[in-house]
Structure 1
Amino acid sequence: MLKFCFRFTTRLAIAALCLLTITGSVRPNAVEQIRSQGELVVVTRNSPTTYFEDNVGITGYEYELAKAFANHLGVKLVIKQADNLSDLYNSLERKQASFAAANLTITDQRTKWVRFSTPYMNVTQQVVYRRGGMKPKQTFDLAKGQLVVASDSSHAEKLRQLQSKQVPELTWSESPDFESVGLLQMVATGEVDFTVVDSNEFEMLQAYYPNLAVAFDLTGAQSLAWAFPQSRDDSLFKASESFFRNAQTNGLLSEVRERFYGHLGQLNYVGAKHFKRQTDKKLEKYDDLFQQAAKQYGLDWRLLAAMSYQESHWNPRAKSFTGVRGMMMLTRRTAKELGVRNRLDPKQSIYGGADYLTKLHKRLPKRIQEPDRTWMALAAYNVGYGHLTDARKLAVKDGGDDSRWMDVKDYLPLLSQKRHYKNTKHGYARGSEPVTYVQNIRRYFDVLAWNDNPDLDMALESE
């Protein structure tokens, strides 16, 4: 009897073990857990190159990529904001986020304790100084001034390498309280002599600090990537690899890069200084008109202000050789169609320009989405709707996408070449001008938007 009970109990235990195995006692992997919870938690930093909030909502280069990845997984994106790099890495270590998307450079030190995704951008580390101040010409010169970088940054890691191998006398300070924006501000105001930032950060922020310049590149090209915690479960990492392959193939990476970086470099040192001077001197006089007109026509007032600066530098009596006049440089014919009686009257001109831009915006095919829709409406404002249509048709003929600004802007300049414009409906146009026009306005808009954002201390400092 006892032998029978033992055999029965043993068989029962084996059966139970088999049942547990069959019914899925195996722990769900990371992707399965994320899909079960319905959300992907990503840690990042609040900065112009990563994640920020504007008048439309949450945006940013890293945010848009992470959001696309969440959509790829079929879940909602949840952002965890880190105060600094140390806080960001702690969030990964404590498993408070699935990965970090924060303009992180792949370095030898970091790869010891995080796993990096497929790179999505290359940058260089750049030494930045204040124009008129001490300009370092090589790494040895950094020891002659006060140098400050962010704590736990790739820049600090590079400086330690230089100190140990090339410049033993090199000294610097590391700040956990400041990142690129704050450090550039300190250099701009003369609190410190130099700092080091990534090239994409300086490219995006240079217009806000026209008195800053790059002294030299501290490194060659380095890759930016997402950082995943080291784990035996690599399901989410593999999902990110698949996502980036698709993003490269379907043009998503190019599209996001164009959105945030495609218009940069349009504003040189002289242009940036003049824009700041005019902003301080003239904008306040007209910003109520821009805001009122924008409200009436459902536009962003800063877009109207940026347009007006590009058109006339906020000069109500501006006039071009083609006869267009006023704050928004309306032609006589367009002004008549819009009911503008006096093109030199700032209110009439601003309202007329807002009305005209809105009409062009609505006229575009519904399939053209934002922000491409706004960029194309601006191009049409400058070169004419017919010429924009011709460029879009050229793009389609060549296999491009006529609903994407990044494609259309490459075909607009062809309208000045006879072999292209002779086969278009509206003929010759100075097609390079609307491209420059749109890119300049995007840059001016960026500056006005950042200056209007109290959550980011981005105000331009007076020299």
Structure 2
Amino acid sequence: MLVFALLAACSEPKPSQLDTIKQQGVLKILTRNTPSTYYEGADGPAGMEYELTSLFAEYLGVKLEIDSNHDINDIYSSLSTTNAHIAAAGLEVSLDKLNDFFYAPSYLSVQPIFIYNRKTSKPKTITDLIGKQIAVIAGSEQAALMRALQVEHPKLSWKETNELEATDLIRMINEQELDIALVNSNDLDINQAYFPRVSEAFSVGSPIQLAWALPRTDDTSLYHAAKAFFDEIKANGTLSQITDRYYGHKEELNYVGVQLFLRHVRQRLPKYEKHFRAAAEKYDLDWRLLAAVGYQESHWRPKAVSPTGVRGIMMLTLNTAGDMKVSNRLDAEQSIFGGARYLAQLIRRMPEQIIEPDRTWMALASYNVGYGHLEDARKITEHLEKDPNKWIDVKEHLPLLQKRNWYRFTKHGFARGEEPVTYVQNIRQYYDVLSWYDSRLQQLTQNQVTEENLSEKVNFNIIPPIL
């Protein structure tokens, strides 16, 4: 009897990796601490990889455990030698690694680009890069691309390191500590506003797919779960919504606009910051969001007056000012508190099925174009079989309110639908810059760098020309 029991136990199949993860209740992720992957924001963990892996852990019904601060080479090595389950770190799908790793479905397509400082001459071809101080991240597809380029351009030389991230290279270009860097387009997109002197020179190579990496073993249960997860979030629009959250508002501000904004942050904002903070606290808002609205409305000018009669820092109409108990719209403190109260009311007014951050984006659109016009746009969005509760879909259809074939069927008629789209996008950008400025990069954005020159500390590996 005992022998039979032992034989039965031995014949039981070994639990799959996915079953083990569910039994243990933990999904272990390797990632990098960068703005495009995972970082600690003002309100807790953030980053596109963090949001995606959090959703995947919820999809599996387990908790998320994150191990960050790795470089690319270390991530692949650790994924092979530790009990980590997935590397979600902005990794580029590499054909050279397919024998050792699975890649989940791609969640973002990016383009390798050379970047330079706007104060210098813009390089237009690979030949223009010869003799320049160029840097890339070691272990990246950019490093492999540089080696391929060197075959055709033997005089090409560069340096690479695993001690920095793309954000560091972008900062060094901004401060003219490097001439050129090769990075992915999404890294410049997410950092552009913080380093306005950096610009794209030209693209090179083919688009690269970013994806999660998993160890290649006979047990494919976790890989297939990840594949099913991405199939689902692509189909239901969640992936597009997350992508829009991080990259959907990056193209609105140009170089001049960012420079002007940063100058006003230094010169004007300090006069009114205490009012923004106090009003935001009273009405349960983020003060930086409220300040971003004030900048979009008036560039923080308390005496601002528009041709349509709206006035003050928050550019309140006479009717709205009355409803918000503002007796003097040109008084900075009254205007800020009135604007905060109005925005908080709009956020609460949004239908309960609209969740954050879409509630805030739509409330901001209402602040600009009016709640009735927003509702018209939501109805058009629903009519066209898109989701009226997602900003990414509503902003696509707001411009239809300025086309007679559409607005004549709406309750509130014509509206300049393009304006609230740009309005919200700009505020999101201003908010991002203020968040960065308020925390880690205040000295950098004021051009008062007190750190030692990072390029003197970093261990770069020099790749010489082919002789």
Q: C-alpha deviations, 1:272-312, integer Å up to 9, x for none? A: 11111211221122211111110111000000111011001
Aligned to 1:245: 231
Tell whether 2:324 aligns with 1:338. Answer: yes
Extract unaligned runs of 5+ from structure 1: 1-10
Instruction: State how far apart, in whole Å, the 1-side matches of 2:414 and 2:101 are.
Output: 55
Instruction: State how far apart, in whole Å, the 2-side matches of 1:107 and 1:86 are.
Output: 12
Contact kept in structure 2, 1:151 and 1:176, CA below 8 Å:
yes
1:290–1:255 distance in 2 versus 1, CA, 3 Å: same
Contact kept in structure 1, 2:131 and 2:157, CA below 8 Å:
no
Instruction: State how far apart, in whole Å, the 2-side matches of 1:100 and 1:431 are.
Output: 42
Contact kept in structure 1, 2:310 and 2:317, CA below 8 Å:
yes
User: Helix, strand or coil: the match of 2:114?
Assistant: strand
Aligned to 1:80: 67
Instruction: State how far apart, in whole Å, the 2-side matches of 1:302 and 1:196 are.
Output: 32
Amino acid in the other structure paired with 2:9:
L
Tell whether 2:178 aligns with 1:192. Answer: yes
Counterpart pick for 2:30 among 40, 43, 46: 43
Amino acid in the other structure paired with 1:46:
N
Instruction: State how far apart, in whole Å, the 2-side matches of 1:169 and 1:394 are.
Output: 57
Superposition pairs for residues 56-67 of structure 1, below 5 Å? Answer: 56-67=43-54
Instruction: State how far apart, in whole Å, the 2-side matches of 1:315 and 1:108 are.
Output: 55
Contact kept in structure 1, 2:109 and 2:209, CA below 8 Å:
yes
Instruction: State how far apart, in whole Å, the 2-side matches of 1:96 and 1:196 are.
Output: 33
Amino acid in the other structure paired with 2:428:
R
Instruction: State how far apart, in whole Å, the 1-side matches of 2:139 and 2:200 are.
Output: 22
Aligned to 1:460: 445
Aligned to 2:82: 95
Counterpart pick for 1:124 among 100, 105, 111: 111
User: Helix, strand or coil: the match of 2:52?
Assistant: helix
Instruction: State how far apart, in whole Å, the 2-side matches of 1:240 and 1:431 are.
Output: 39
Contact kept in structure 2, 1:70 and 1:76, CA below 8 Å:
yes
Instruction: State how far apart, in whole Å, the 2-side matches of 1:447 and 1:239 are.
Output: 37
- Root-mean-square deviation (CA, aligned residues, Å) is 1.8
TM-score by length of 2: 0.92
Q: C-alpha deviations, 1:312-352, integer Å up to 9, x for none? A: 11111111111111100011111111111111111111101
Contact kept in structure 1, 2:166 and 2:187, CA below 8 Å:
yes
User: Helix, strand or coil: the match of 1:201?
Assistant: helix
Instruction: State how far apart, in whole Å, the 1-side matches of 2:130 and 2:82 are.
Output: 39
Instruction: State how far apart, in whole Å, the 2-side matches of 1:457 and 1:311 are.
Output: 23
Counterpart pick for 1:396 among 382, 385, 403: 382
Instruction: State how far apart, in whole Å, the 2-side matches of 1:112 and 1:82 are.
Output: 25
Counterpart pick for 1:154 among 134, 138, 141: 141
Instruction: State how far apart, in whole Å, the 1-side matches of 2:73 and 2:271 are.
Output: 44
Once the 2 structures are TM-superposed, how far is the Cα of residue 153 of structure 1 from its aligned partner? 1.6
Amino acid in the other structure paired with 2:108:
M
Contact kept in structure 2, 1:69 and 1:240, CA below 8 Å:
yes
Instruction: State how far apart, in whole Å, the 1-side matches of 2:436 and 2:409 are.
Output: 43
Tell whether 2:202 aligns with 1:216. Answer: yes
Superposition pairs for residues 345-424 of structure 1, below 5 Å? Answer: 345-424=331-410
Contact kept in structure 1, 2:38 and 2:45, CA below 8 Å:
yes
Tell whether 2:19 aligns with 1:32. Answer: yes
Instruction: State how far apart, in whole Å, the 1-side matches of 2:420 and 2:37 are.
Output: 29
Amino acid in the other structure paired with 2:75:
L
Aligned to 1:142: 129
Superposition pairs for residues 293-304 of structure 1, below 5 Å? Answer: 293-304=279-290
Amino acid in the other structure paired with 2:344:
T
Counterpart pick for 1:311 among 297, 322, 325: 297
Instruction: State how far apart, in whole Å, the 2-side matches of 1:88 and 1:276 are.
Output: 36
Once the 2 structures are TM-superposed, how far is the Cα of residue 141 of structure 1 from its aligned partner? 2.5
1:447–1:131 distance in 2 versus 1, CA, 3 Å: same
Contact kept in structure 1, 2:114 and 2:183, CA below 8 Å:
yes
Aligned to 1:284: 270
User: Helix, strand or coil: the match of 2:91?
Assistant: strand
User: Helix, strand or coil: the match of 1:360?
Assistant: helix
User: Helix, strand or coil: the match of 1:104?
Assistant: coil
Instruction: State how far apart, in whole Å, the 1-side matches of 2:344 and 2:119 are.
Output: 44
Counterpart pick for 2:212 among 215, 226, 235: 226
Aligned to 1:437: 423
Amino acid in the other structure paired with 2:318:
R
- Corresponding pairs, count: 448
Contact kept in structure 1, 2:376 and 2:411, CA below 8 Å:
yes
Contact kept in structure 2, 1:124 and 1:222, CA below 8 Å:
yes
Deviates further, 354-363 or 225-234: 225-234
Deviates further, 106-115 or 119-128: 106-115
Once the 2 structures are TM-superposed, how far is the Cα of residue 71 of structure 1 from its aligned partner? 1.3
Once the 2 structures are TM-superposed, how far is the Cα of residue 441 of structure 1 from its aligned partner? 0.4
Aligned to 1:4: none
Instruction: State how far apart, in whole Å, the 2-side matches of 1:149 and 1:189 are.
Output: 16
Instruction: State how far apart, in whole Å, the 2-side matches of 1:157 and 1:135 are.
Output: 24
Identity %: 46
Superposition pairs for residues 314-325 of structure 1, below 5 Å? Answer: 314-325=300-311
Once the 2 structures are TM-superposed, how far is the Cα of residue 191 of structure 1 from its aligned partner? 0.9
Counterpart pick for 2:7 among 6, 13, 18: 18
Once the 2 structures are TM-superposed, how far is the Cα of residue 461 of structure 1 from its aligned partner? 5.7
Instruction: State how far apart, in whole Å, the 2-side matches of 1:342 and 1:362 are.
Output: 25
Aligned to 2:459: none
Contact kept in structure 1, 2:305 and 2:312, CA below 8 Å:
yes
